[in-house]
A = this chain, B = another copy of it.
Amino acid sequence: MKKSKYKEQVKALRAELIQLQIALKDADFPVLIVISGDDRSGRHETLNLLHEWMDSRFLQANAYGLPTEEEQQKPFMWRYWKDLPQNGVIGLCLRDWTSYSIIEYLIDQIDEKQFTKRIEYSNAFEATLTARGMLIIKIWLHLPEEELKHRLKIERKYLHKVWQIHQKDQLIYSDFDRAKTVIQKTLKDTDSDSSSWHIIESSDLYQRNLHVGKLIAEKIRARLNRSATDNVQPNEDSKTGRQHETTSQKNHLDTIDLSKHLDKKTYKHELKYWQHKASHLIYQFQEMDKSCVIVFEGWDAAGKGGCIRRLTSSIDAGFYRVIPVAAPTDEESAHHYLWRFWRKIPRAGRMSIFDRSWYGRVLVERVEGFASDNEWQSAYDEINDFERQLHDKGIPVIKFWLHIDKEEQLERFKERETIPYKHHKITEEDYRNREKWTDYEITINDMIDKTSTSYAPWRLIPSNSKHYARIEVLKHVCNVLEKTLKDSSTE
Contacts and interface: CB of A to CB of B under 8 A. Distances in A.
A347 B163 CA distance: 17
Contacts of A55: 424-425
B324 A48 contact: no
Main secondary structure of the interface of A (DSSP, over half): helix
A53 to B, nearest CB: 7
A304 to B, nearest CB: 10
Contacts of A14: 420-421
Contacts of A424: 18, 22, 55
Interface in A49-71: 51-53, 55-57, 61, 63-65, 68-70
A56 B421 contact: no
B318 A64 contact: yes
A305 interface: yes
Contact of A51 (B43, B51, B57, B309): B309
Contact of A317 (B44, B163, B316, B326): B44
A11 interface: yes
A173 interface: no
Interface in A390-441: 419-421, 423-425
Nearest to A55: B424
Interface string A272-313: 000000000001001100000000000000000100010011
B420 A313 contact: no
A330 B86 CA distance: 14
B63 A318 contact: yes
Nearest to A309: B52
Contacts of A51: 309, 312, 322
Given A63-B317, A69-B70, A330-B330, 10 more contacts: A15-B420, A18-B424, A48-B312, A51-B312, A56-B305, A57-B355, A63-B316, A69-B69, A70-B70, A163-B316
Interface of A: 11-12, 14-15, 17-18, 22, 43-44, 47-48, 51-53, 55-57, 61, 63-65, 68-70, 94-95, 161, 163, 165, 283, 286-287, 305, 309, 312-313, 316-319, 321-322, 324, 326, 329-331, 347, 355, 419-421, 423-425
Task: Please list the 8 inter-chain residue pairs (A to B) with the smallest Cβ-Cβ separation, ordered nearest first.
Answer: A14-B421, A63-B318, A15-B420, A69-B69, A57-B324, A15-B421, A47-B317, A63-B317
